[in-house]
């Protein structure tokens, strides 16, 4: 038997369904030579301070007890609310009929950390292999199973996740405690790797708004009528169009006596506007929340997670927790197939053509996961919120394989009594 560890129950169900592990047990699926079980996010976490010394750290904080750094080594414990699932996974890991384990947690350092700590606390002795896929369609699962990596190839990613976990703990515990004791005045001051710079960004922007001094300025606009149509021009002097006071404005206006102008320069240029880049999670959240007032960033993520997990037969979008706006070059064939399926029946179908360009495919700019795109599985029953997010992802994806918009820009300079209007 081969034991597969997924990160979430929904992913485990998708994998088990495809592999034919159809017998459901408490906490896992079994059948056809596979056992598929799952974590529920982080089953294992670091000790709290009080877990190291209950008498010393359970009561009020004392400045003399900080900084706190474990003297021997960092210790881990099973999340009390998830102990049942951990015990199930541990028991499966020690079954005699398990040949090896396939790690199918998310393909990033957080996923590696989740599985690494489970294997550590469960004292796993079985060989571990890694399935590296970004989504859980049947084709991806097949490709991943046929190209398993050895666990040793994942050591750097595991170390990155472990190091970040330890660093976050040390910074969060010590800085939060000391800042609260010295400056909190009875209130908890949370300090951490994420919260501190985020609050600083909000604070800086708030100060800019608070200290902003509005300033009135004036511009002069001319309305022109020619044989071929009407147009407007803005008075310019050495590329500047703004005046600080009304006296200067009136001085210019009073100097104009003629009711006719002369076009002294006309430039016509053509420009192209390409589709915006594919979505990362952050750019998708920004796009959706700017258009729909009933969405928050968290809601966008939750809807994406629902679309990613799909119907059990596969997800409708690729892995959403990505910071990339490019695709791995190896995905070209799959993207072409997806595009061919999604464009059918669209009124501009003949404008949609697959091309492998650096604007879309660039492996050097992809970290753990590619940009968010639809899969070839077309959803049939979506909630209104899911439909909004799915359509945004689908439309952005399709637009990247369409010709750019083309514009003709005309710039006219008109002279009226030696005054130039642009």
Whether 319 is catalytic: yes
Whether 30 is in a domain gets the answer: yes
| Average pLDDT taken over every residue of the chain | 93
Question: Which residue range is the domain that position 240 belongs to?
Answer: 221-267+414-421
CA distance 330 to 333: 7
**Collapsed DSSP state (helix, strand, coil) of residue 128:** strand
Geometric angle at alpha carbon 135, from 129 and 137, rounded to 5° = 100
Quickly count: other Cβ atoms within 10 Å of residue 146's Cβ: 8
Residues 306 and 370 in one domain: yes
Residues 132 and 109 in one domain: yes
pLDDT at 134 over 80: no
CA distance 67 to 58: 16
pLDDT at 314 over 80: no
Residues 298 and 354 in one domain: yes
pLDDT per residue over 142-177, tens digit each?
Answer: 989 999 999 999 999 999 999 999 999 999 999 999
Across 7-59, the runs of DSSP E, i.e. the strands, are 23-25, 28-31, 34-38, 44-46
Residues 45 and 122 in one domain: yes
Q: What is the mean pLDDT of residues 94-101?
A: 96
Whether 113 is in a domain gets the answer: yes
CB 302 within 8 A of CB 281: no
Residue with tokens 């990155």: 160
61-69 long-range contacts, CB within 8 A, separation 24+? 61/177, 61/180, 61/181, 62/181, 63/178, 63/181, 63/182, 66/174, 66/177, 66/178, 66/181, 67/170, 67/174, 67/178, 68/173, 68/174, 68/177, 69/170
Residues 252 and 142 in one domain: no
Looking at the structure of the chain, the number of domains it has is: 3
Whether 44 is in a domain gets the answer: yes
Geometric angle at alpha carbon 394, from 297 and 302, rounded to 5° = 25
Residue with tokens 């003399």: 64
Residues 49 and 95 in one domain: yes
Q: Which of 38, 308, 316, 319 is catalytic?
A: 319
Residue with tokens 């697959």: 354
pTM of the model as a whole: 0.70
Residues 261 and 287 in one domain: no
Phi-psi region of 73 (alpha: psi -120 to 50; beta: other; left: phi over 0): beta
pLDDT per residue over 219-277, tens digit each?
Answer: 999 999 999 899 999 999 988 999 999 999 999 999 999 999 999 999 999 999 999 99
Residues 308 and 234 in one domain: no
**Collapsed DSSP state (helix, strand, coil) of residue 220:** coil
Residues 301 and 331 in one domain: yes
């Amino acid at each position: 038997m081969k034991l597969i560890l997924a990160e979430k129950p929904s992913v485990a169900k998708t994998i088990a369904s495809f592999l034919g592990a159809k017998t459901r047990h408490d906490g896992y699926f079994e059948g056809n030579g596979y056992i598929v079980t799952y974590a529920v996010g982080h089953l294992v976490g670091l000790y709290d301070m009080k877990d190291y010394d209950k008498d010393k750290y359970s009561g009020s904080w004392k400045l003399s007890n900080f900084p706190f750094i474990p003297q021997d080594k960092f210790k881990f414990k099973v999340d009390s609310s998830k102990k049942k699932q951990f015990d199930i996974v541990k028991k499966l890991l020690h079954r005699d009929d398990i040949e090896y384990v396939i790690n199918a947690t998310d393909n990033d350092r957080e996923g590696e950390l989740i599985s690494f700590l489970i294997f550590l606390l469960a004292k796993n002795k079985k060989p571990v292999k890694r399935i590296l896929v970004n989504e859980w369609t049947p084709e991806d699962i097949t490709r991943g199973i046929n190209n398993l990596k050895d666990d040793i190839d994942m050591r750097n990613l595991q170390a990155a996740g472990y190091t970040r976990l330890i660093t976050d703990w040390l910074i969060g515990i010590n800085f939060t405690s000391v800042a609260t004791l010295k400056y909190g005045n009875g209130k908890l001051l949370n300090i951490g790797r994420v919260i501190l710079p985020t609050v600083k960004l909000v604070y800086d922007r708030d100060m800019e708004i608070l200290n902003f001094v509005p300033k009135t300025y004036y511009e002069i606009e001319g309305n022109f009528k020619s044989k071929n149509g009407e147009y407007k021009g803005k008075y310019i002097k050495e590329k500047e169009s703004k005046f600080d006071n009304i006296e200067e404005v009136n001085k210019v206006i009073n100097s104009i006596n003629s009711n006719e102008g002369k076009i002294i320069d006309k430039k016509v240029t053509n420009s192209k506007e390409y589709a915006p880049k594919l979505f990362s999670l952050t750019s998708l959240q920004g796009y959706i929340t700017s258009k729909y007032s009933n969405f928050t960033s968290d809601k966008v993520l939750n809807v994406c997670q629902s679309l990613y997990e799909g119907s059990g037969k596969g997800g409708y979008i690729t892995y959403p927790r990505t910071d990339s706006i490019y695709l791995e070059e190896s995905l070209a064939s799959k993207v072409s197939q997806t595009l061919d399926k999604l464009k059918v029946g669209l009124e501009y179908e003949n404008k949609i053509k697959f091309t492998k360009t650096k604007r879309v495919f660039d492996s050097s700019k992809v970290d753990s996961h590619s940009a968010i795109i639809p899969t070839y599985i077309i959803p049939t029953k979506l909630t209104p919120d899911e439909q909004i997010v799915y359509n945004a992802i689908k439309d952005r994806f399709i637009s990247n394989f369409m010709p750019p918009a083309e514009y003709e820009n005309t710039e006219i300079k008109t002279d009226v009594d030696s005054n130039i209007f642009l």
